[in-house]
Amino acid sequence: MSTITGVTAADETPTPSPGSPLGGDAAGTGRLGDRLFGGAARGAGLLVIALVTLIGVFLLWQAVPALARNEANFLTSREWVVAGDHPRFGIVELLWTTVASSLIAMAIAVPVGVCVALFITQYAPRWLSRPAASLVDLLAAVPSIVYGLWGVLTFRAAVLPVEQFLQDKLGWFPLFARTGISGGTIFFIGIVLAIMVLPIVTALSREVFAQTPVTHKEGALALGATRWEMIRTAVLPFGRPGVISASMLALGRALGETIAVTFIVSTLARGSDWSFSLFNGGETFASRIANNAAEFDSPQKTGAFIAAGLVLFILTFIVNAVARVVIERRKAFTE
């Protein structure tokens, strides 16, 4: 069971019959106790559906009045003035920071996470395999607020020289343009997020890799493959859907990470120049909301932040739905 991701090996493993108990309500007796208990179970399921629907509907309901009064284009404006009679706010900057930092995190966490998972399942000596897995899981047990503190107070100093180097050598490229920001850049947020989501990628990939049929592996080796060739031809193709859905889950987590990012980001001054540089500051959806929690005093202001939260919700919803589809498709193939 992967306790970190909430997705279990059962979801990932192609099993012809998932060992399901007796079909449907065939075993129910129709007596009062059965009807009550079955109803309660059904009710709990209904409650979960209602909760998720309610979240979407409620956020929408609260956001719409504020959006209607918004005098700027919500999707393309960089402004964020939510008070007064002429509110002007848009999310383009939040969207860019959120997506860019999460993509950097994925670019680091997915290759490293997959390699760590391969290490644990295929390379580590027997005595090291379990402790290594627990160590990486331990990364997930560190609360995100501690990542935030460590990132700002300790880790920042170590990454700064790397950023300087990249700006010196690759500054001509717009993504690496010099900005003069020494606080939390998008690049730095991405690195911290990568560390935070690494255990998610590793935990799930590890489980799928461990499920590779022994016959596939032995077949590859019997044909004279080296261990790396065996991994490339047997383990990786078998685990690919698992890795994809693990990455999607990790991406969802990275997009919505709040407190660590809030501690780290350098908020840009209002009206500062726009740049595509990864060494720019900026806020993510989550950090903009968290940073301004004290401002939730009028429905209009609250509505604006809720609108931002709604976009984040939709973003993570899409990412998670894609992960789900990948898992389902794989099940369909293997059955």
Partner 1 sequence: MTTTDTHADAARATLLTSGLGNPSRGRAVRDQLARVVMWLAFLLAVIPLVWILWTVVSQGAHLLLESKWWTHSQRGITSRYPGGGAVHAIQGTLIQAGVTALIAVPIAVMTAIYLVEYGRGKFAKAVSFMVDILTGIPSIVAALFIYALWVTTLGFQRVGFAVSLSLVLLMIPVVVRSTEEMLKLVPNELREASYALGVPKWKTIVKVVLPTAFSGIVTGVLLGLARVMGETAPLLILGPYTKSIAVDLFSGLMPTLPTMINQDRTELGQAAAVERMWGAAMTLILLVLLLNLAGRLVARFGSVKK
238 scored as a contact of partner 1 (CB under 8 A) = no
User: Binder to partner 1 among 178, 259, 267, 275 (CB under 8 A)?
Assistant: 259
Q: How far apart are CA 206 and CA 137, in angstroms?
A: 11
* Window 296 to 325, contacts with partner 1 (CB under 8 A): 296, 299, 302, 305-306, 309, 312-313, 316-317, 319-321, 323-324
* Window 202 to 231, contacts with partner 1 (CB under 8 A): 202, 210, 212, 214, 217-218, 221-222, 224, 226-231
107 scored as a contact of partner 1 (CB under 8 A) = no
User: Binder to partner 1 among 7, 106, 193, 243 (CB under 8 A)?
Assistant: 7
| Beta carbon nearer to partner 1, 124 or 181 | 124
User: Binder to partner 1 among 49, 157, 269, 332 (CB under 8 A)?
Assistant: 49
3-class DSSP assignment, residue 212:
coil
Q: How far apart are CA 36 and CA 44, in angstroms?
A: 12
Distance in Å, CB of 293 to partner 1, minimum: 5
Q: Which residue has the tokens 């709040």?
A: 258
Here the tokens at position 109 are: 């966490």
Residue among 56, 320, 97, 102 at smallest CA distance from 196:
102
Cβ neighbours of residue 16 closer than 8 Å, sequence gap 6 or more: 335
Cβ neighbours of residue 211 closer than 8 Å, sequence gap 6 or more: 9, 12, 13, 238
332 scored as a contact of partner 1 (CB under 8 A) = no
Distance in Å, CB of 181 to partner 1, minimum: 19
246 scored as a contact of partner 1 (CB under 8 A) = no
What one-letter code names the amino acid at 187?
Answer: F
183 scored as a contact of partner 1 (CB under 8 A) = no
